[in-house]
Amino acid sequence: MLLKGASILVECLKEQKVDTVFGYPGGAVLEIYDELYKHQSEIRHILTCHEQGAAHAADGYARATGKTGVCIATSGPGATNLVTGIATAYMDSVPMVAITGNVAVSLLGKDSFQEVDIAGVTMPITKHNFIVKRVEDLADTIRRAFQIAQSDRPGPVLVDIPKDVTIKKAEYERQEPASISPMTEYISESALDEAVKMIRSARQPFLYVGGGAVISGANQEIVRFSEKLKIPVGSSLMGLGGFPGDHPNFTGMIGMHGTKVSNVCVTHCDLLIVAGARFSDRVVSNVSTFAKHAKILHLDVDAAEVDKNVMTAHHVIGDLNATFKALNERLQDFTIDNGGWLRAVQENKKKYPLRIVEDGRLHADYILRSIYEIAGDDAILTTEVGQHQMWTALYYPVRKPRTLITSGGLGTMGYGFGAAMGAQLGRPDKRVFNIAGDGSFRMNLNELATAVHYQIPMIQVVMNNQTLGMVRQWQTLFYEQRYSQTNLDDRGPDFMKLADAFGLPAFHVTTPEEVRPAIEAALRESGPVMIVCDVPKDDKVFPMVAPGASIEEVMLDED
């Protein structure tokens, strides 16, 4: 049938079973928004207060559901306002399709009103991007964008559509979405045999899981692998949930703010099995001392990550779930002789527990443990970036994949609120808590209006210490307490009055006794809620590894 470009776009979104898009209209996308109006019973559009909020919401929706998130913005500043959200998704391998409008094809490259070469701007932060100059190419481009976003290692794809392409007509014929198969063609018998040989010869193996464990859905096979071979398991920030956080074999996060147990395991293991992780500098710290006694076996879907940051002894390239299934089959009759190693790890867990402060004051660890005890597996946590993010990673036992959503690679302050909206809309069966510091929360608090308008029942928790806490921590430890531009105590806002202005209920928590009643009351609300928690300004995140130090040289609170 003969359809306008805007109609073709919406039909293609329906082909891909898109049920929710996030965006902000403007002149270059008016035709698209007119079509969305006609199809509002099939595709729900969430109007955010800012395009960055739309990108983060699409990201959170994707991470919580495993589907591809979609956001839309107009040309020029609308498109550039998506950039931080696209980069966030790129760094954490999140499937997203960002659709931007642009000036007419004849005006491209002429510095026209609200024109930006958004394809050029986003080239380094997208898995692929397109500018569609012919309406005849639009349908196939949209289909290809979704396939690229979801396949192999996922990531964001941008499709830039000039306005006249949305107006012109072309023939459209509906197609079923192409199936996305796990990447297994490079998982060779020889690669698996060598991996099995390394595992069989190890006496002190340690498994380090990254975000790929969550993305691939390999968590059950990884648990089977760990339990069968009695292998302790640590995680990157992005890997939390890829292995149950309350499992006896789990040692916690690795790296700069990793647990002492995990960091000691990496340093003293004789085989480090790395599953779906990229050896981030926040994990590795000093490369020359990282896993210095170990052979490294790298399992990953992306060959570009092998030997990029850390040299490995062997690798298997392919879908992690398929790789662990194959390894488990080959090792089903093997019993590893590492009981002494596992016992030593368990002893270290007792020797180096995370410190729980009980001095009568309100601290973040108590708030997070209370959320877990009350909401448990019915909750999804999103976070902003800073101390509260690390406290969440350390003290909240993430048991299931896709229940902790955070900006790991880019470290985007202001990410969490939009992500929480997207996650809550994508998973209405869960309650979403966004854990924020007051500094991060101030970055995108305008989206409170979005949550209230759509009555998104997310719970915003503000750890209010009246400072940019993580930066202050570094200033305390390494800059002789010169607190340059990190104090927020005289800058406001009054968060309780702010909640009232936006029209959502709020609870002000100042003592440990007030925490549980506030959480329970928030869970009874049918719309968005804010809980403002006053925590001490000089609470710090420990463990911590100083810059340039070995990850074994962990500073604990008593240090």
In this predicted model, what pLDDT tens digit does every residue of 456-465 receive, in sequence order?
999 999 999 9
Do 144 and 242 share a domain, yes or no?
A: no
- Cα–Cα distance for residue pair 481/484, rounded to 1 Å: 9
Do 76 and 131 share a domain, yes or no?
A: yes
Do 395 and 296 share a domain, yes or no?
A: no
Question: What is the residue-averaged pLDDT of the chain?
Answer: 96
- Return the active site residues: 51, 113-114, 163, 470
Q: Is 292 domain-assigned? A: yes
Range of the domain at 154: 2-171
Do 395 and 515 share a domain, yes or no?
A: yes
Token pair listed for 134: 């012919």
Q: What is the mean pLDDT of residues 361-366?
A: 97
Q: Are 166 and 9 in contact (CB under 8 A)?
A: yes
In this predicted model, what pLDDT tens digit does every residue of 483-524 receive, in sequence order?
999 999 888 899 999 999 999 999 999 999 999 999 999 999
In percent, how much of the chain has pLDDT > 90? 95
In this predicted model, what pLDDT tens digit does every residue of 238-278 receive, in sequence order?
999 999 999 999 999 999 999 999 999 999 999 999 999 99
Q: Which of 258, 261, 253, 251 is nearest to 210 (CA)?
A: 253
For residue 378, name the pLDDT band (cuts at 50, 70, 90).
confident
Do 163 and 255 share a domain, yes or no?
A: no
Do 273 and 368 share a domain, yes or no?
A: no
Q: Is 358 domain-assigned? A: no
Do 158 and 75 share a domain, yes or no?
A: yes
Q: Which of 424, 414, 468 is nearest to 445 (CA)?
A: 414
Q: Is 553 domain-assigned? A: no
**Phi, psi (degrees; rounded to nearest 5) at 136:** -65, -20
The residue among 351, 376, 392 that closes a domain is 351
Q: Is 321 domain-assigned? A: yes
**Phi, psi (degrees; rounded to nearest 5) at 287:** -60, -35
- Per DSSP bridges, beta strands 250-253 and 271-275 are unpaired
Give the DSSP H or E segment for 157: strand 156-162
Token pair listed for 418: 């939009």
**Does residue 363 carry a pLDDT above 90?**
yes
The DSSP 8-state label assigned to residue 403 in this structure reads S
Q: What is the mean pLDDT of residues 128-137?
A: 98
**Does residue 559 carry a pLDDT above 80?**
no
Q: Is 177 domain-assigned? A: no
Per-residue burial over 92-115, b = 16 or more CB atoms within 10 Å of its CB, e = otherwise:
bbbbbbbbbbbbebeeeeeeeebb
Q: What is the mean pLDDT of residues 97-108?
A: 96
- Cα–Cα distance for residue pair 428/423, rounded to 1 Å: 8
Task: Quote helix, strand, coil % in the chain, to nearest 5.
Answer: 40, 20, 40
Token pair listed for 441: 């929360």
Q: What is the mean pLDDT of residues 519-540?
A: 97
The residue among 319, 351, 383 that closes a domain is 351
Instruction: State how many domains the chain has.
Output: 3
Q: Which of 219, 210, 215 is nearest to 278 (CA)?
A: 210
User: By three-state DSSP, how is residue 171 classified?
Assistant: strand
Q: State yes or no: cis peptide before 543, omega within 30 of 0.
A: yes
